Amino acid sequence: MRIVIAAVAALSLHAQVSAQINPIPDGMAAVELERSRTCVGVLAQVEALDEALAPLAERAQRLVAIGQAIALEDERVMESLDSLQPVEAQVHAWFVRDQELAQRYVATLAQQLVDQRAAAREEIKQVITDAVGEIQAQADEMLTGSDELASAAAPCDGAIFVRSAVLEACEAGSGKICDAAAGTPAEGAPQFRFVESPEDVWDIQEMRPWTLPGPLRAGPNGQLDGARTIGFARAGNVVVSVAFSPLLRDREGLSPEESAQLQATNDSLGIESTHPDVLFAPALGIRATLPNPLAGESSYVLHFGPPEEADVVWSGVSGTGEPIERTIPIGAAHVGKLQAGEPITLTALRAEGADDNTAVFAIELTAVNQANASQALLGYMGVQLGRDLAALLRPRGSE
């Protein structure tokens, strides 16, 4: 039987797909064996870098703790200061001098002594700041050129490994993953997950309920965070997450057509987006660890409903070498399906001809808590989000 997946507006063709979806992607075994072998060497490099950076991290943490003691004038830290460390010797001398100045001030109440103490405190705080900066510079130098290692390590982070392939690679290497695969993990070592055959990787399935949304807020680095609900699913080493959240766009960067389309969606949903510089509207963000095809697929589609009645939200090509990461503005119809708890699925398609595509595997997110979380977020976006955005992001030109 042939069935039709409805195309998004940007597509000019309606793709036909087969109803048969393979339970295990055809090429997954080869991919997982190669991942397990490769990660042995990659993780060994990461461990070596971590070991080299550990003394610097420990020293920096030590100096930060000393800086906190200075700020609190906590003299108890003096007992632990190392006189052989120049910076710590300076800190010890500052504490001694500060105690002397404090005693003289009690006796005389001279403002000059207060000023001397304040100036000396700023000087020793700067000594700590400079020392931490030097450590950071050393760490940065060691990390120079490690971007490739970070990229290589990404597929290994939290992965499920094939034990036999790991042990094979460990014959020419070593590391914590080798100890874990052999059944002798070191205390405090990372926890690795193993299966006995590559096909078993796909059997490890995980789904999480959609998260409860919170208000928009300022994150630790000054970025805006919150105001989202996320659904999560895992099939083997393929992790898919979909986030329903407001997409914030700079009004100056929008074309009149884009602005009108987003505003039309907001009007239909009763959303007030009145910030003079930022326009927001509902969107779905997708992330999926699919840098390379698992079953010869040529594209992926994110859709509501089963394949035979699919309503496609997004489509993209496979084999980019990078994980999928996209944010897609959605209209009122798709918001309604979120609120109705209609499941979302990521389906991999293999091109069989000009208009034929066979669905080779699919990962469906659970609908648990989807409706409640989506309804709560849409209610927040209606009015309060605009007020919170105005409080967090002042208009351009305002004082």
Among 223-227, 269-273, 367-371, name the most confident range. 367-371
Q: Taking the domains of the chain in order of start, what are their residue ranges?
A: 2-24+199-392, 27-187
Closest CA relative to residue 352, chosen from 275, 304, 295: 295
Q: Is the Cβ–Cβ distance between 192 and 64 less than 8 Å? A: no
CA distance 129 to 143: 21
Q: Which of 52-56, 353-357, 369-373 has the lowest mean pLDDT?
A: 353-357
Segment holding 193, helix H or strand E:
strand 193-195
Q: Write the pLDDT tens digit of every residue in 46-86.
A: 998 988 888 999 999 999 999 999 988 888 889 899 889 99
> Is 50 exceeded by the pLDDT of residue 13?
no
- How many other CB atoms sit within 10 Å of the CB of residue 353? 8
CA angle, 278 as apex, 274 and 283 as ends, to 5°?
A: 95
What pLDDT, on the 0 to 100 scale, is given for residue 398?
A: 65
Q: Is the Cβ–Cβ distance between 347 and 308 less than 8 Å? A: no
Q: Which residue type, as a one-letter code, is found at position 84?
A: L
Q: What is the mean pLDDT of residues 2-15?
A: 32
CA distance 139 to 13: 52
This prediction's pTM:
0.75
Residue 106 CA, chain-centre distance (Å), reads: 54
